[in-house]
Amino acid sequence: MRSKHLLVGNWKMNLGPRQGSSYARQLRESITNLARTDVWVAPPFASLPIVATELKGSLLSVGAQNVHWAESGAFTGETAPSFLTELEATFALTGHSERRTYFGETSDQVAQRTAGAIAAGLEVIACVGETESERNEGRMEKVLEGQLNPVLAKLTQETAKSVIIAYEPVWAIGTGRVASLDDIRGAHQFIQRVWTSFNLPGSAVILYGGSVNPSNFADILALKEVHGALVGGASIKLEQWLDLVKIAEATPV
């Protein structure tokens, strides 16, 4: 369990260095007091250095949208965990559904990426989630288990605390169709059971992601199974992002 809510903005392939740095400056100037919430942002790689510089000394943390497992080598287009820590990034996402769907990343690779990043001292938000047809066919639990098992199998009693799970049903990402509170509760409870089956210490920290916005966030965060949110679209619109921060701050942990 974390002592605060966790609100993570996934900028995806938006806000290049110029726009990203000016947005980061606005965030730094607008978010000057946080009592109940940790606010993290994941810019695209090209913007990471300038955003990290802009947010240095602020209340926000910066991370990457993906990470490789190796320290260096012939992996064109990839980013080593130590490159991220050198930039003072503190976390990375792994296994986002867009990586799985468009770039063919497998759950085994996601597990490797997760383990490599943790070994380098990063926290990792490992993303899982079923497609609409998998849900309709009653295969949600099987799919989530298939995505979680390789990741959890690589954790130790010590490294487990560096992993956060993001439950993001694919059909809710970027569609405006948020999952129902019952769907979210059920999936988070299931993920918690899988975590427990690995005899890992404590309980899993689980974020919900998929069309989170200021009109649905308060109800979602009020669920005791939900420890925060991973947000795409609403994280790159200043007003909406600040509203989400406000809602998190107003919600008891």
The two three-digit tokens of residue 6, written as one number: 């966790």
Contact with ligand PGA (CB under 6 A) among 232, 240, 244, 245: 232
- Between CA 191 and CA 200, with CA 195 as vertex, the angle to 5 degrees is 160
# of chain residues touching ligand PGA (CB under 6 A): 13
Check if 54 is active-site. no
Q: Where are the beta strands (DSSP E) in the chain?
A: 5-10, 37-42, 60-64, 91-94, 123-128, 163-167, 206-209, 228-231
Catalytic residue list contains 168: yes
211 contributes a contact to ligand PGA by CB under 6 A: yes
Nearest residue to 141 (alpha-carbon basis) of 190, 107, 183: 190
Catalytic residue, candidates 168, 188, 225, 227: 168
Give the CA count within 13 Å in the CB-facing half-sphere of 237: 11
> Residue 248, interface with ligand PGA (CB under 6 A)?
no
User: Which is closer to ligand PGA, CB of 7 or CB of 80?
Assistant: 7
Is 42:10 a contact under the CB 8 Å cutoff?
yes
231, 244, 247, 248: residue in contact with ligand PGA (rule CB under 6 A):
231
Min dist CB 251 to ligand PGA, Å, is 18
Span 133-172, contacts to ligand PGA by CB under 6 A: 168
Binding mask 169-198 for ligand PGA (x = CB under 6 A): ----xx------------------------
Residue 210 as a binder of ligand PGA (CB under 6 A): the answer is yes
Q: Which of 5, 54, 68, 96 is catalytic?
A: 96
Residue nearest to ligand PGA (CB): 232
> What's the start-to-end Cα distance of the chain, in Å?
10
Nearest to 119 by CA among 79, 76, 85, 165: 85
On whether the CB atoms of residues 169 and 187 are closer than 8 A, the answer is: yes
- Specify the residue, 49 or 233, whose C-beta has the smaller distance to ligand PGA: 233
Question: Residues in the site for ligand PGA, rule: CB under 6 A?
Answer: 10, 168, 173-174, 209-212, 230-234
Active site residue ranges: 96, 168
